[in-house]
Structure 1
Amino acid sequence: MRVLIVDDSVVTRAVLTRIVEAIPGHRVVAAVGGIVQATGRLASEAADLILLDINLPGIDGLSGLPDLLAAAPGVRVIVLSGDCADGSPTACHAMSLGAAATLAKPESSPLAGGFAARLEALVERVMRTVPRVTGNAATARSDVFDIIAIGASTGGIHALAPLLAAIPPELDVPILVTQHLPGTFTEYFAQQLTALARRPVDVARDSLRIQRGRLIVAPGDAHIRVVQTSEGAATRLDRAPSISGCMPSVDPMFDSVAQVFGARALAIVLSGMGRDGARGAANIRAAGGVVAVQDQASSVVWGMPGAVAEAGLANTIGTPAQLGAFVARRRRPA
């Protein structure tokens, strides 16, 4: 098994190399100090397993994880960090981004607390139980979501760009967007989204069918509600006052998506002030769907995503680019 080590510490790279090469049938093909060097090596050197640190110069490990997975289809990644205690938010985040496993580094010494034995056991388990993807198997995965509903407010337009850029055009799951925005800007916003999402964009209207490969944005003067018709799901405009006081509001969109799509729904909450979307996110989770929210560090205002995260409703938390990469992998979080 070919192993790539990515860690900014020369000492840790040397220790990890000794541990890995003591495991029968494993060899280190490269040990580098950052994501850019790692992706460069993967362009010319195949790897079956990557041992990845989080605190790296330039691009941090979690931000770079999707790039590593894209550069080496089928590779398995074990994230090593002092922040990766079992069940910690960092460990859960790493797993949601595609890591096969995580392991907490000891704080004092790379070999303290039986770390070598624990890493060796984890490597053997991961390499034994996670199948390698070969040929076109990676592109044969079926979509696990039938709808993606995105809610945003202050800072949301800025967040939408990297999120949508990370979703490939061939992933044709329909997307709904409710962005708090005056009605006078709706048409211009729709034109912006057409370029960002690389797919046709419609402004929601009554009886507009929800179709694969298209994005629908809420108008400035009405909420989007999803209804089931004899010809499939469609949008209906709702101008009733919302609990949040927003027009359009994210909650009615999430509420109706939960009713129609249930466990096949993915809700994403981006930067925004207030709590709009929190009630709807609870309904998405209650229906078996998945909720993803933008992290605090990348949010202009962490009101909306923070309300969802603090209520324990978020299946995954990340930057907009990381959330887009999560969508692109077409896998539900563990």
Structure 2
Amino acid sequence: MISASPVSARNVPPDHRSVLIVDDSAVARSMIARMVDASDRYAVAGSVANVDAAFAFLMRARVDVILLDLEMPGVSGLTALPDLITAGRGAKILVVSASTPDGASATVQALALGAADTLVKPGAQTTSSRFAELLSERLDRLFDPPALVVPRGAGAAVEPKLSAAPPCPTSAASGRGTFDVVAIGASTGGIHALSLLLRELPASFSAPILITQHLPTTFMSHFAAQLAVLGGRPCDVATDYMRIRPGRIVVAPGDHHMKVVALTDGAAIRLIDDTVASGCLPSIDPMFDSIAEVFGARALGIVLSGMGRDGSTGAVSLHRAGGTVIAQDVASSVVWGMPGAAVATGVVSATMPPDAIGRLIAARPKP
């Protein structure tokens, strides 16, 4: 049994990533600890029963991952999440809770507050072996994004070095002119990044914002409601033929790609479910490709934190049409897969944290 002492940390093998478990259930702590320690990549550094003990532990030791329950006596995990991110000094937080099934508002809130990912505690329908597999999968994808692939026709294949992402000045990102639409693609870690970005936009910002976030359909109503609060403007889940209007946010549904088509008096959304190269549904690429066709040089594309390479092909299309592409930087990304893949194409004008991207958008020249 692992000690619940808030100040005593176990030694972790140098080739393992260290884990802190925060859960008020002794049974859950013991079960999760056995699963973590059974792996050849992770080891439990500590196990505590509440948020106060977690803070005390983190004052004395550093870990790579915090496995956090949400429903605990005293201060809840959700309430403490932002402060735990600070106390964790770079630790990634994986929420492991019965409160985070598909569609739960707590899931979207946790991700918006900075959790790297969520996992539902095992119930009657989930075996312990299946939960162990899911836990290992969630942990692995936080640290080992797939290899970056440069889209065909985008130039020489260059594997980007994480330290070499171009921290271009904001003037470089805004130098291709004004823009009439903002299109944002995001995945793992993207909800928190979106929250930081949208908070920087003033109420007077009027360009429409299109967002493709990799989430299941069941999350979308909660996600849209959260974005409306964060962005201080209406947010709709896209429907077929929906008009694109100033001052509003539109998010792709979880089961269709979102494209833009030109109308005689503006633009509208079309929903498709075609297979795309990235394998994602919804995918960022069709959104970027279509805004390149409709808006050309007056479009701004943004690639936020996420696994894989979705958005990189569309980023090339957008650049070729004269638009501007910005990517989230390495340091602020939970997973620098999608932003890194976009950078590898050579079409990204700047990499920066999401709050800086928001300020850049807010300061854009007026059309």
* TM-score bracket for the superposition, by shorter chain length: 0.5 to 0.7
Shift in Å, 1:233: 0.2
Distance 1:95 1:249 in 2: 29
Shift in Å, 1:262: 0.2
In the other structure, the counterpart of 1:27 is none
> Which of 214, 218, 224 is the equivalent residue of 2:248?
214
Is there any run of 5+ residues in structure 2 with no aligned partner, and where?
1-164
In the other structure, the counterpart of 1:165 is 199
- Residue deviations 1:214-240, cap 9 Å, x none? 010000000000001233100000111
In the other structure, the counterpart of 1:280 is 314
Shift in Å, 1:310: 1.9
Contact 1:204 1:235 in 2 (8 A): yes
SS of equivalent to 1:209: coil
Contact 1:152 1:270 in 2 (8 A): yes
Q: Are 2:237 and 1:203 equivalent residues in the alignment?
A: yes
Distance 1:94 1:316 in 2: 7
Paired residue total: 200
> Which of 264, 267, 290 is the equivalent residue of 1:256?
290
Aligned-pair Cα RMSD in Å = 1.8
Distance 1:172 1:253 in 2: 20
SS of equivalent to 1:208: coil
In the other structure, the counterpart of 2:4 is none
User: TM-score scaled by structure 1?
Assistant: 0.58
User: TM-score scaled by structure 2?
Assistant: 0.53
In the other structure, the counterpart of 1:154 is 188
Distance 1:186 1:252 in 2: 19
Distance 2:346 2:236 in 1: 33
Contact 1:96 1:326 in 2 (8 A): no
In the other structure, the counterpart of 1:93 is 169
In the other structure, the counterpart of 2:218 is 184
- Residue deviations 1:26-76, cap 9 Å, x none? xxxxxxxxxxxxxxxxxxxxxxxxxxxxxxxxxxxxxxxxxxxxxxxxxxx
> Which of 338, 345, 355 is the equivalent residue of 1:304?
338
Distance 1:155 1:264 in 2: 27
Contact 1:97 1:325 in 2 (8 A): no
Aligned pairs for 1:17-96 (under 5 A) are: 89-90=166-167, 92-93=168-169, 95-96=171-172
Contact 1:227 1:235 in 2 (8 A): yes
Contact 1:97 1:322 in 2 (8 A): no
SS of equivalent to 2:169: helix
Shift in Å, 1:311: 1.7
SS of equivalent to 1:158: helix
Q: Are 2:221 and 1:145 equivalent residues in the alignment?
A: no
In the other structure, the counterpart of 2:275 is 241
- Residue deviations 1:258-300, cap 9 Å, x none? 0000000000000000000000000000000000100011000
SS of equivalent to 2:315: helix
Contact 2:309 2:337 in 1 (8 A): yes
Identify if the C-alpha distance between structure 1 residues 268 and 285 changes in structure 2 by more than 3 Å, giving closer, same or farther: same
Distance 2:277 2:166 in 1: 30
> Aligned letter for 2:209?
I
Shift in Å, 1:331: 4.3
Q: Which of structures 1 and 2 has the larger relative contact order (alpha carbons within 8 angstroms, sep 6+)?
A: 2
Question: Aligned residues: percent identity?
Answer: 55
> Aligned letter for 2:260?
V
Distance 2:173 2:201 in 1: 14
Q: Which is further off, 323-332 or 181-190?
A: 323-332
> Aligned letter for 1:268?
I
Contact 2:179 2:298 in 1 (8 A): yes
Contact 2:211 2:251 in 1 (8 A): yes
Identify if the C-alpha distance between structure 1 residues 97 and 314 changes in structure 2 by more than 3 Å, giving closer, same or farther: closer
Aligned pairs for 1:100-111 (under 5 A) are: none
Shift in Å, 1:247: 0.5
Distance 2:195 2:227 in 1: 8
